Structure 1
Amino acid sequence: MIEIDALDASGRFAAYLAEPEGAPRGAIIVHQEIFGVNPGIRAKCDYWASLGYLSIAPDMFWRFAPGYDVDPDQPEQMAEAFEVRKKFNPNKGVEDLEATIRVAREKSGGGKVGVVGYCLGGRMAYLSATRTDAAACVGYYGAGIDGLLEEAHAIANPLMLHFAEKDHFIPAETVAKIRAVLDPNQHVTIHEYAGVDHGFATTSGSRRDETAAQAADARTEAFFAAHIG
C-alpha cells in the first residue's frame, strides 16, 4: 500500500500498488466497484503487473469510508455497499484519479497511463476520458454514463466500453442512447456481450461469466498494449 496526496490538500489516501519485475511498459489504474479495493480489485492489479505494467488501485471511498472492502456475494454486504456509494462525489473522484495518474506516471518513469474501471469505476473511466489526460481508458458496465454524454465532445484519447446485454442496471435502451452519441466518435469502441448480466468480468464469485469475461479482458489487454505499451 502507498499513500497519495489529494489535489485539494484535504488529506492523503491509500492505494494498492502492484509493480512488474522489470521496467514498467506503462501504468494502469484500476478503479474499484462500489465494494472497495477488495481482493478482486487487488488481483486485477496483480495481473496487470504480471503483464509488465505498474498498476495502482486507489481507495476511492477514502473521504467517507476509508479502507472499505466488502464481498458482493454476501447479500448484506452488497446492500450496505449500495448505501455507502451514495456518499461518493464523482467530481472529487476525478480529482483523486488525476492525483493517482500523476503518481503512476512518475513511478512508471514517465510512461503512458491508462485507466480501467468496473461498474462505478466504468463510469469513472468514462470521466477519465473526458476530464483527464489518461492515454487510454476502459469502462466495464459503467452505470450513469448516459447522464454524462454532454461531455463526450472532450474525448480525445482512446476509450473502450464493455456492456452486458442482460444488465439489470443498464437496460438495452440506455446502451442504445450511449451508442447514438459515442459510436460516431473515432476514439470510442463499444462492445456488448450477449446473455450476461452486470458484473460479468469480476475476478471471481457468482457474478462472473467466464466466456464473456475472457473475451472482454482479451480486448482490454490488446487495447492497452496498443495505446499504453
Structure 2
Amino acid sequence: MIELTTGDGQKLSAYRADPDGAPKGAVVVVQEIFGVNPHIRKMADMFAAKGYVAIAPSLFDPVKADVGLGYDEAGVSEGLHLVKEVGRDRALAEIQAAVDSVKEAGKVAVVGYDWGGYLAYAAANRVNGVACAVGYYGGGIVDDYGEKRKVPTLLHFAEDDKNIPPEAVVQFRAFRPDVSAFSYPGAVHGFNCDERGDHNQEAADKALERTLFWVSQYVEGQPPILLKNSGAYAQAKVDKKKKKKSAGGDDLGPPMD
C-alpha cells in the first residue's frame, strides 16, 4: 500500500501494482461499496499483468481506514453507509489524487465497479488527466445523462440487474449516443466478481475483452477524433469563432484545423 494526498490535504492509502518492464500507461481501479478488498486488488493485479501501472485508492479512508467488506448483508449495509459519508465530490478528489500519482507512467484510464462504476463515469468529465473511462453496473449512471462525454466512455450493464432496469439502459443509450454501453444477457448486478454468487463468467470475459481493448485503444493509441457536431471538438470550434469575432470583428471564414 502507498499513501496519497488530495488537493485539500486529505490522506488516504492505495493499493498499487506495477507491471514487469516499462508500463504502457496506467489504470485507476475504483472500488465497489466493499472497499479495496481482495476482488479489487485482483483487478489491479490483472491490469498490471497486462502492462499497466494499476492503483486502487481506498476511498473510505478519510472516514474509516482499511475497509475490506464481505458481500453479506452486513457488508452491504456498512458499505452503503460509508458511501454516503464520503460523498461523490470527496471520492472524485481522491480519484484525482490517484490519477496524479501515476501519470508519469503515461495516459491514464479509470475503471470502476458498482459504486466505482458510477464514479468512473463521473470522473470522465470531472477529473483531469483521464484518457478514457470504463464503468461496470454503476448505479445512478442511467439518471446522469445530461452532459456530453469529455473522454471516451465504455459502460457494462447486466440485463437482469434489479437495481438498473433494462428499459432505463435503453433510454440512456438514446440520450447518450456518445457512450458505448453494452448489456449482458442472463447477467445480474456484480457479474464481474468471481467472489460473489452473482458471478457470470461468460459476461465477465466478454466485458473484460471490451475493457482491455478500450484501454489499449485510448491509453496506448492516439487521441480520439471527435465529430464536429458532438463533444469537445464542437465546443472548441465555437470558442475559436467567438474569439475571432471579439478580437477583430471580421468573419474570415471557418477556423483552420
Aligned to 1:124: 119
Question: Displacement, 1:83?
Answer: 2.6
Aligned to 1:6: 6
Question: Displacement, 1:202?
Answer: 1.2
Aligned to 2:156: 162
SS class of match (1:149): coil
Question: Displacement, 1:173?
Answer: 2.5
Aligned to 1:144: 140
Aligned to 2:180: 189
- For residues 145 and 37 of structure 2, the distance between their equivalents in structure 1, rounded to whole angstroms, comes to 30
Change (3 A) 1:63 1:177: farther
Q: Is the 8 A contact 1:41 1:203 kept in 2?
A: no
Question: Displacement, 1:204?
Answer: 2.6
- For residues 147 and 205 of structure 1, the distance between their equivalents in structure 2, rounded to whole angstroms, comes to 26
Q: Is the 8 A contact 1:18 1:55 kept in 2?
A: yes
- For residues 205 and 147 of structure 1, the distance between their equivalents in structure 2, rounded to whole angstroms, comes to 26
Question: 1:144 corresponds to which letter in structure 2?
Answer: G
Q: Which runs of 5+ in 1 are unaligned?
A: none
Aligned to 1:98: 96
Question: 1:145 corresponds to which letter in structure 2?
Answer: I
Q: Aligned pair 1:29/2:25, yes or no?
A: no
Aligned to 2:241: none
SS class of match (2:144): helix
The one-character-per-residue Cα deviations of 1:201-226 (angstroms, maximum 9, x if unpaired) are 11433121011000101110111111
SS class of match (1:192): strand
Give the CA RMSD over aligned residues. 1.2
- For residues 140 and 30 of structure 2, the distance between their equivalents in structure 1, rounded to whole angstroms, comes to 15
Corresponding residue to 1:205 among 196, 199, 206? 196
- For residues 76 and 150 of structure 2, the distance between their equivalents in structure 1, rounded to whole angstroms, comes to 35
* Identity of matched residues, %: 37
In the superposition, the TM-score normalised over structure 1's length comes to 0.92
- For residues 4 and 47 of structure 2, the distance between their equivalents in structure 1, rounded to whole angstroms, comes to 20
Q: Which runs of 5+ in 2 are unaligned?
A: 221-257
Bigger Cα displacement from structure 2, 50-59 vs 128-137: 128-137
Q: Aligned pair 1:178/2:172, yes or no?
A: yes
Corresponding residue to 2:76 among 75, 78, 83? 78
Q: Is the 8 A contact 1:44 1:203 kept in 2?
A: no
Q: Is the 8 A contact 1:34 1:119 kept in 2?
A: yes
Change (3 A) 1:178 1:88: farther
In the superposition, the TM-score normalised over structure 2's length comes to 0.82
Question: Displacement, 1:59?
Answer: 0.5
SS class of match (1:62): coil
Q: Is the 8 A contact 1:129 1:159 kept in 2?
A: yes
Question: Displacement, 1:177?
Answer: 2.7
Question: 1:99 corresponds to which letter in structure 2?
Answer: A
- Could you list the runs of 4 or more consecutive aligned residues of structure 1 that deviate by over 4 angstroms after TM superposition? none
The one-character-per-residue Cα deviations of 1:97-128 (angstroms, maximum 9, x if unpaired) are 1111111103x1xx000000001011011111
SS class of match (2:15): strand
Equivalent residues in 2 for 1:10-89, closer than 5 Å: 11-72=10-71, 74-89=72-87
Q: Is the 8 A contact 2:6 2:96 kept in 1?
A: no
Q: Is the 8 A contact 1:37 1:58 kept in 2?
A: yes
Larger-gyration structure (1/2): 2
- For residues 76 and 120 of structure 2, the distance between their equivalents in structure 1, rounded to whole angstroms, comes to 22
